[in-house]
């Protein structure tokens, strides 16, 4: 199954590590550090240039990618739960 992140971007649900609310989780120093390192390694993909609401961490064949999405964490959770997959969702 796949998860639509916005625009024309879809990812395999099996590759999703977690879905995070950008506003709430960006208060943490650890999250800021993680996103900063991912940006330096060119692992961040901006799905849309609208106001970002969430980020999705994916890993495929030991390659980590972070997708910044304008879709809320709650909406992504609803889309993901229809496929009955399990992963971390932080709201």
pLDDT (tens digit, 9 = 90+) per residue, 2-61? Answer: 899 999 999 999 999 999 999 998 889 999 999 999 999 999 999 998 999 999 999 999
Residue 57: enclosing H or E segment and its boundaries? strand 54-60
Our count of domains for the chain comes to: 1
Cross-strand bridge partners of residue 70? none
How many residues would you count in the chain? 91
Cβ count near 59 (within 10 Å) = 12
Range of the domain at 64: 2-90
Which residue from 8, 12, 16, 35 is spatially nearest to 73, judged by alpha carbons? 16
Query: How many Cα atoms sit within 13 Å of 49 on the Cβ side?
Result: 0
Residue range 63-81, pLDDT digits in tens:
999 999 999 999 999 888 8
The model carries a pTM of: 0.86
């Amino acid at each position: 199954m796949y998860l639509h992140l916005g625009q024309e971007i879809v990812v395999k649900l099996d590759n999703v590590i977690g879905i995070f609310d950008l506003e709430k989780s960006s208060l943490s120093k650890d999250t800021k550090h993680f996103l900063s390192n991912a940006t330096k390694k060119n692992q961040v993909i901006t799905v849309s240039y609208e106001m970002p609401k969430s980020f999705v961490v994916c890993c495929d064949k030991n390659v980590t990618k972070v997708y910044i999405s304008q879709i809320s964490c709650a909406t992504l959770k609803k889309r993901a739960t229809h496929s009955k997959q399990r992963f971390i969702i932080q709201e």
